[in-house]
Amino acid sequence: MRSSAGRKICQVRFKMENSNLQDKNILLGITGSIAAYKSAEVIRLLRKRKAKVYPIMTRAATNFVHPVTFQSLASQEVVLDSFSKNKEIKHISLSSLADLFLIAPATANVIGKIACGIADDILTTTVLACQSPVLIAPAMNHRMWINPILQQNVKKLKSLGFKFVGPMKGKLASGEVGEGRMSEPSQIVDYVEKIFSFEKDFRGKTFLITAGPTRERLDRVRFLSNYSTGKMGYALAEEGKLRGAKIILISGPTFLNVPSGVEFYRVESAEQMKSCVIEKFPEVDGVIMAAAVADFTPLKKERGKIKKDKGEKIFLELKRTPDILAKLGRIKQDKILVGFCAETKDLEKEAKKKLKLKNLDLIVANNISSPGAGFAVDTNVVSLIDKKGEVKSFPKLTKREVAEKIWDKIKEMENQP
């Protein structure tokens, strides 16, 4: 009978042989924190899983650990400046090389600089040029961690897709106990492994995502619309792309930048969105309808401009727009269909009704009257309800974090028999 110690060794060996980190290029940013000594163990563990590690140190970090330590462990030159002897622009060459940028430890100072787009050293310029995922492991005194300015910076970075691991609660360098201690190296490396495993989640799958509002033309200068900014749909597109899916993004009018690497279509009216969605539907494995499609459109659209001299009152006659989600529910076959439900009361009741009526697999319900939820904000408060009636509610999260939860649930549903 094999001992528990023997089983543990076999499990570790299996994990090493099947690591998602093999031949991955990891940039490791090391900043001026006492926790910099833990970065040596981070390098050791990454290399043990066959990753290639390229250390980048701020000048402040060299006050805690000598660069030779990291150079010896990584078998790579530690980068301290933007220019090498051969005048190579290091932040460009490193950012092009990176599969992931890990900053461990990350001080309050560097988190603030990244959040504000400040690039005044090799580490921050490389982050700004980097197209790969960025994972941040904060390390600081607990008073700094709970500071509202620091928390605002963290919230901003999370909304932009930056990942965070930790910090933990524990004994700090000051001798105090509180939240701010850097996560242990093994936890950080496991999280890195998890990020690369995401790439396989939806590899070979195509998802269509709708985003933003629609505009229903009233005359040549006016339209009916809603408060949607498209942030939720765009966050879903970015997260889905990160997790290996091919993304088709169909968006109403927004001021957001189009996520890189997606197939993108711009529409304006509900009718245009319907036509584009139906055209692309045969190509996809699933649809996430995050757009706030107008329910009504003017029955008559003026060719010119409605003049004020028509009187004190103008009567506007409206008709229903096409119900895109209901149409997809009737023809979906084995495709995954996810809808959204925004209500001000009876949220769960209305969401379950919509889920059943439109033949959805999952509905994302949010009470738009809750603080920090709904339109034109970076956060949301949602519940996920599946077709089995299972309800999973979350506290207030950034819309990027909500996107992660939705994709997690889709993956869970795909794995169910």
Domains in the chain, ordered, with CATH?
7-198 (3.40.50.1950), 206-299+311-415 (3.40.50.10300)
- 344 or 120: which leads in pLDDT: 120
**Which pLDDT does position 89 carry in this prediction?**
54
pTM, rounded to two decimals: 0.76
User: What sign results for the dihedral spanned by CA atoms 409, 292, 333, 276?
Assistant: negative
Length of the chain: 417
Radius of gyration of the chain (CA): 25
pLDDT over 60 (residue 53): yes
- Average pLDDT over the chain, rounded to an integer: 87
**Which pLDDT does position 28 carry in this prediction?**
95
- 379 or 291: which leads in pLDDT: 291
DSSP H/E element including 337: strand 336-343
**Which pLDDT does position 408 carry in this prediction?**
93
**Which pLDDT does position 83 carry in this prediction?**
61
pLDDT over 60 (residue 11): no
DSSP H/E element including 52: strand 52-57
Mean pLDDT of the 4-14 span: 44
pLDDT over 60 (residue 84): no
380-401 burial: b if 16+ Cβ within 10 Å, else e: bbbbbbbeeeeeeeeeebbbbb
The amino acid occupying position 282 is P
**Residue 207 corresponds to which tokens in the numbers above?**
């998802």
- 91 or 61: which leads in pLDDT: 61
- What confidence tens digit (pLDDT) does each residue in 133-188 have? 899 999 998 888 999 999 999 988 988 889 899 888 877 777 777 788 899 999 99
pLDDT over 90 (residue 289): yes
Mean pLDDT of the 226-246 span: 91
DSSP H/E element including 179: strand 177-181
**From 67-76, 113-122, 305-314, the region with the lowest mean pLDDT:** 305-314
Pick from 94-108, 274-288, 333-347, 369-383 the range whose average pLDDT is largest. 274-288
* CA distance linking residue 352 with residue 415, whole number of Å: 23
Mean pLDDT of the 14-21 span: 60
Asked if 260 and 215 count as a contact pair (C-beta separation under 8 A), the reply is no
Mean pLDDT of the 31-50 span: 93
Query: With DSSP H G I counted as helix, E B as strand and the rest as coil, what are the percentages for the chain, rounded to 5?
Result: 40, 25, 40
**The sheet that has 263-266: what strands, in order across it?**
263-266, 246-251, 206-211, 286-289, 336-343, 362-367, 382-386, 391-393
CA angle, residues 126, 128, 132, in degrees to nearest 5: 80
**Which pLDDT does position 368 carry in this prediction?**
79
- 182 or 6: which leads in pLDDT: 182
Residue whose structure tokens are 């919509």: 354
pLDDT over 70 (residue 226): yes
Asked if 27 and 56 count as a contact pair (C-beta separation under 8 A), the reply is yes
Q: How confident is the model at residue 10 (pLDDT cuts 50, 70, 90)?
A: very low
Of these residues, 20, 226, 366, 380, which one is catalytic? 226
Instruction: Kindly report the backbone phi and psi dihedral angles of residue 181, in degrees, each rounded to the nearest multiple of 5, phi listed first.
Output: -70, 135
**From 74-83, 112-121, 269-278, the region with the lowest mean pLDDT:** 74-83
**Which pLDDT does position 86 carry in this prediction?**
54
Mean pLDDT of the 1-5 span: 47
Mean pLDDT of the 5-16 span: 44
Taking alpha carbons only, the member of 386, 379, 349 closest to residue 364 is 386
DSSP reduced 3-state for 250: strand
Q: How confident is the model at residue 87 (pLDDT cuts 50, 70, 90)?
A: low
How far is residue 224 from each of residues 58, 256, 324, measured CA to CA in Å?
Answer: 52, 20, 18
Beta bridge partner(s), residue 178: 170
- 158 or 312: which leads in pLDDT: 158
**Which pLDDT does position 88 carry in this prediction?**
58
**From 67-71, 217-221, 278-282, the region with the lowest mean pLDDT:** 217-221
Active site residue 226: yes
pLDDT over 50 (residue 387): yes
pLDDT over 50 (residue 8): no
Number of Cβ within a 10 Å radius of residue 7: 10
